[in-house]
């Protein structure tokens, strides 16, 4: 059997002495090499080797450093747990890396309960772990993710690398768009998936440190000073929770197909056109007849979920004909005279407009440019989400509603002025059309227009779906993954063409560490000569860096050079 060696042991004398001295390129490479070996062992069903590799990875310096980096760079870095502790300095981050080495006797703290509003007016409970518990979860997730990814269903798209809601939508288009496609759909909704997963089932099936996983599940929740035990579920808010939920639901697609083969025979399965498309705990199943979905598919799904402590929602689960249409992930899928059209759902549109209206109402007295800067990210984000579907008509209608909303906003500010005066003050003629815009000055003193983003300007472009068999930890998929990530990142940079230009000139890599820039890592637009020292905002004076590399650059007083052009 191959010996399992900690990649950091051979060079322990060369380990860095403080946070900013960490070689992130080396850390990424070492962790990825171990993850590839774990994925290979999983594929070969060599579970003894999987456990040995996982143990080595979770004890390595590189993995511990990356775990701390993740929890101190993500959106929750300023949200403390029950201990009110944050790792917001290089010294604390460095101490945290050492603290993660002591896993024997580790005991997680209870979660801090908070509630966030849902689109239906209700509240969703979140459990906020302490920074140490988050980092420990991130550390063990590095070893668990290659296993779960290698065992996942082909058409599972939630909380997986390089997979998104748009991929799930595209797969449904493939399943439903043809004339001979399945006309019936089972819309399934799991009742409180994250809150009811059976702990015993999960711990017995997870390929990770079962003792630590069980401690996380049983840690309890603190709300208004009261400690409540957690006897079931994996709390939303933990870094590892989405992966554990995916683990519980893996096999829904492959298991259903195997059941159908055993029930009706292999030769008839294809004619039934049963397809499962899942995003996290939301899924739909297609079928050729209402009977096959209600009498065969639904009972099997209920049994599958019951083994995991879950059940379907009676109120939200139903079988629908494609001509009536159904909503999934914010879109409406429906056939009109045999043609499948995917549009933003009415519920999603109403929730979006309510949010925009709320922003305008809450900022009745702010400057026009400030209102534009508040609205533009919301408008762009929503338009970007719906740009792969039939959304032009919806975009135009919302632009019109927003125009009237802003007209009322402007007229209320100047009740004694005429409508024409108000229009001329807040709307300007730019490039041949009327724009809600304001003049602002850049840091260099140049005047430019700040314009409200128009939804109808969004180009409708079909999404390039990820291949079902793609595994980010399999070397055979490396070239495909690089191409997929680069194209998707360029797409997301479409609204900032200068970033796209820099990304291409750097071949998609950070100038400092040489590792790939992705949506997960994020990026920072760095000026080679600082603007306060006279540096320009031209592309020749700018490069893209990872946020952690940018901080490291300034902390150590280093410089980088513009990469040579080909």
- Whole-angstrom Cα distance, residue 19 to residue 97? 9
What is residue 4's predicted lDDT score, i.e. its pLDDT?
57
State how far the Cα of 78 lies from the Cα of 72, in Å rounded to an integer.
8
Residue 278 has phi, psi (to 5 degrees) of -125, 140
d(CA 293, CA 186): 7
For residue 11, what pLDDT is reported? Answer: 47
- Please say whether the beta carbons of 476 and 43 come within 8 A: no
Helix/strand number for the chain, H first, E second: 21, 16
> Could you give the CA distance from residue 76 to residue 144 in angstroms, rounded to a whole number?
22
pLDDT one digit per residue (tens) for the chain, 566 residues: 455 555 554 445 578 889 999 999 999 999 999 999 999 999 999 999 999 999 999 999 999 999 999 999 888 888 999 999 999 999 999 999 999 988 888 999 999 998 887 766 677 888 899 999 999 999 999 999 999 999 999 999 999 999 999 999 999 999 999 999 999 999 998 998 888 899 999 999 999 999 999 999 999 999 888 998 888 888 778 899 999 999 999 999 999 999 999 998 888 999 999 999 999 999 999 999 999 999 999 999 999 999 999 999 998 999 999 999 999 999 999 999 999 999 999 999 999 999 999 999 999 999 999 999 999 999 999 999 999 999 999 999 999 999 999 999 999 999 999 999 999 999 999 989 999 999 887 665 677 889 999 999 999 999 999 999 999 999 999 999 989 988 888 887 776 778 888 898 898 999 999 898 988 888 888 988 887 677 777 888 899 999 899 988 888 888 888 887 65
| The pLDDT of residue 495 | 63
- Mapped onto helix, strand or coil, the DSSP state of residue 266 is helix
Which residues, other chains included, contact 524 with Cβ-Cβ below 8 Å and sequence gap of 6+? 544, 545, 546, 547, 549, 550
Would you state the pLDDT for residue 32?
95
The DSSP code for 457 is G
Cα(first)–Cα(last) distance of the chain, in Å? 46
Answer whether 0.95 is exceeded by the pTM.
no
Look at residue 121 in the predicted model and tell me its pLDDT.
66
């Amino acid at each position: 059997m191959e010996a399992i060696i900690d990649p950091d042991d051979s060079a322990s004398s060369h380990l860095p002495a403080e946070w900013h001295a960490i070689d992130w390129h080396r850390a990424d490479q070492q962790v990825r090499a171990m993850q590839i070996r774990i994925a290979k062992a999983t594929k070969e069903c060599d579970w003894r080797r999987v456990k040995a590799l996982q143990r080595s990875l979770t004890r390595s310096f590189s993995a511990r450093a990356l775990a701390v980096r993740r929890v101190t760079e993500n959106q929750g870095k300023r949200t403390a747990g029950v201990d009110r502790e944050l790792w917001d300095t290089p010294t604390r981050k460095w101490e945290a890396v050492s603290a993660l080495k002591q896993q024997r006797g580790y005991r997680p703290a209870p979660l801090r309960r908070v509630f966030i509003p849902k689109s239906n007016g209700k509240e969703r409970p979140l459990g906020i772990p302490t920074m140490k518990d988050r980092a420990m979860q991130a550390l063990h997730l590095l070893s668990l993710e290659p296993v779960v990814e290698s065992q996942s269903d082909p058409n599972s798209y939630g909380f997986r690398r390089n997979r998104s809601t748009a991929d799930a939508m595209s797969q449904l288009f493939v399943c439903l768009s043809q004339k001979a496609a399945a006309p019936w759909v089972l819309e399934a909704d799991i009742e409180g998936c994250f809150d009811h997963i059976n702990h015993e089932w999960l711990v017995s099936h997870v390929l990770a440190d079962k003792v630590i996983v069980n401690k996380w599940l049983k840690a309890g929740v603190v709300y208004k000073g009261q400690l409540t035990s957690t006897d079931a579920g994996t709390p939303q808010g933990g870094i590892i929770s989405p992966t554990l939920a995916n683990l519980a639901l893996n096999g829904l697609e492959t298991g259903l197909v195997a059941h159908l083969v055993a029930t009706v025979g292999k030769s008839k399965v294809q004619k039934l056109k049963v397809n499962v498309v899942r995003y996290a705990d939301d899924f739909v199943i297609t079928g050729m007849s209402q009977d096959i979905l209600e009498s065969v598919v639904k009972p099997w799904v209920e049994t599958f979920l019951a083994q995991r402590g879950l059940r379907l929602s009676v109120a939200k689960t139903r079988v629908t004909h494609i001509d009536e249409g159904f909503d999934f992930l914010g879109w409406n899928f429906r056939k009109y005279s045999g043609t499948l059209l995917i549009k933003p759902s009415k519920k999603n549109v109403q929730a979006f407009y309510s949010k925009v209206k709320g922003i305008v109402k809450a900022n009745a007295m702010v400057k026009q440019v400030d209102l534009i800067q508040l609205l533009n990210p919301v408008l762009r984000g929503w338009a970007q989400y719906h740009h792969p579907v039939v959304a032009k008509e919806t975009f135009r209608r919302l632009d019109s509603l927003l125009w009237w909303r802003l007209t009322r906003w402007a007229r209320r500010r100047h009740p004694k002025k005429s409508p024409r005066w108000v229009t001329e003050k807040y709307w300007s003629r730019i490039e041949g059309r009327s724009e809600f815009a304001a003049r602002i000055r850049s840091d260099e003193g140049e005047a430019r227009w700040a314009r409200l983003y128009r939804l109808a300007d969004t180009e409708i472009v079909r999404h390039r779906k990820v291949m079902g068999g793609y595994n980010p930890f399999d070397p055979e998929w490396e070239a495909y993954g690089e191409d997929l990530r680069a194209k998707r990142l360029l797409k997301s940079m479409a609204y900032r063409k200068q970033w796209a230009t820099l990304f291409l000139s750097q071949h998609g890599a950070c100038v400092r560490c040489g590792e790939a820039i992705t949506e997960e890592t994020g990026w920072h637009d760095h000026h080679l000569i600082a603007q306060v020292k006279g540096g320009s905002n031209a592309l020749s004076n700018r490069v893209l860096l990872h946020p952690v590399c940018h901080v490291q650059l300034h902390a150590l007083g280093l410089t980088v050079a513009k990469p040579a052009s080909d």
